[in-house]
């Protein structure tokens, strides 16, 4: 089923279902998909783990704190172990996007020389991924987490199960926006991106409550997360080029200039999107979503109620 709640199931069952589905997806990628394209499989698995951790944050008001921390720590550690396998691939993609966007502004040979160096770093890591046994080990760890889902102890249900998690997600994103706007460091922008991704996943789960409005807000959050992700990838690429610049025969200063220019464009777009996404004060946002929630549940009950019997004419 899609990554969203459904009126045909309780909140508790819906969140557990989504948790199982994300772990099943990650496990399948790390056991089957990795045989075809290990880097893409790891990338897809990591996305599923991010959804899983975000779901735990939304459900924080209902889960026992120690229980939630145990699962979150396991998922975080597994994701970190898998991250290195993706880093070189991300830098090459960022370089290719830059080359395509600013074609002709820097000699193509500069991009070619950089790409050859990054590829030389990537290929051994890609080749050793399967031999390392890391995907299988990660899959086993995720199977253990999955096996505990049915044992989660829920302290509340319905809206109360997700209210505090949603409110916290929105507040953290709004604060991260303010920090990044005041001081747009790589760290602050990346933290804002993580908080925005959380809100995106939460809005996706809640889109059925008001498909037009919540769906539109989810799209804004998705776009904002992508823009901030592109900015972060370019920052990582720049740092790496500064580290290995001596081994590359290319006009790196020109490439650095393009990276800085493109990052400025992305950050401008991000702040405009952020002002719209986080326009409401937290209490107003939570109250609005709660009203959608109540209307959605009432509509579901009305749709499931028996229809009145037609009066007899005899």
Q: What is the pLDDT of residue 144?
A: 96
Report the predicted TM-score, pTM, of the whole model to 2 decimal places: 0.91
119-122 — which CB contacts under 8 Å span 24+ positions?
119/92, 121/88, 122/88, 122/89, 122/92
Distance CA 67, CA 207 (A): 27
| Percentage of the chain modeled with pLDDT above 90 | 76
Element (H, E) at 238: helix 211-244
User: Which region among 41-45, 262-266, 285-289 has the lowest average model confidence (pLDDT)?
Assistant: 41-45
Choose among 259, 206, 253, 207: nearest CA to 232. Answer: 259
Closest of 202, 215, 209 to residue 166, by C-alpha: 202
Phi and psi for 103 in degrees, rounded to 5? -55, 130
pLDDT band at 155 (very low <50, low <70, confident <90, very high): confident
| Side-chain-facing half-sphere of 106: CA atoms under 13 Å | 23
pLDDT digits (tens, 9 = 90+) for 89-111: 899 999 999 999 999 999 999 99
Q: Are 78 and 186 in contact (CB under 8 A)?
A: no
User: What mean pLDDT, rounded, does the chain reach?
Assistant: 91
| CA 12 vs CA 60, 135, 153, 166: distances in Å | 12, 30, 10, 15
């Amino acid at each position: 089923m899609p990554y969203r709640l459904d009126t045909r199931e309780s909140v508790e069952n819906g969140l557990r279902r989504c948790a199982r589905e994300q772990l099943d997806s990650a496990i399948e990628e790390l056991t089957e998909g990795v045989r075809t394209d290990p880097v893409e499989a790891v990338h897809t698995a990591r996305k599923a783990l991010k959804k899983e951790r975000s779901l735990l944050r939304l459900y924080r008001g209902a889960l026992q704190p120690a229980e939630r921390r145990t699962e979150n720590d396991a998922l975080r550690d597994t994701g970190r172990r898998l991250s290195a396998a993706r880093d070189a691939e991300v830098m090459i993609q960022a370089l290719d996007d830059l080359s395509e966007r600013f074609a002709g502004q820097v000699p193509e040979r500069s991009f070619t020389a950089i790409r050859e160096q990054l590829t030389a770093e990537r290929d051994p890591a890609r080749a050793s991924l399967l031999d390392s046994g890391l995907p299988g080990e990660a899959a086993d760890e995720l199977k253990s987490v999955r096996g505990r889902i049915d044992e989660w102890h829920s302290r509340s249900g319905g809206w109360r199960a997700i209210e505090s998690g949603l409110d916290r997600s929105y507040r953290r994103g709004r604060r991260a926006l303010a920090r990044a706007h005041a001081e747009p460091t790589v760290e602050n922008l990346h933290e804002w991106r993580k908080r925005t991704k959380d809100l995106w996943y939460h809005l996706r789960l809640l889109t059925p409550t008001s498909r037009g409005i919540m769906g539109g807000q989810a799209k804004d959050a998705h776009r904002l997360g992508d823009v901030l992700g592109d900015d972060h990838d370019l920052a990582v690429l720049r740092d790496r080029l500064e580290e290995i610049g001596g081994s590359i025969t290319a006009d790196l200063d020109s490439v650095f200039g393009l990276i800085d220019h493109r990052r400025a464009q992305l950050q401008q777009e991000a702040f405009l999107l952020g002002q719209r996404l986080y326009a409401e004060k937290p209490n107003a946002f939570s109250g609005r979503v709660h009203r959608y929630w109540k209307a959605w549940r009432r509509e579901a009950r009305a749709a499931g109620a028996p229809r009145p019997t037609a009066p007899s004419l005899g």
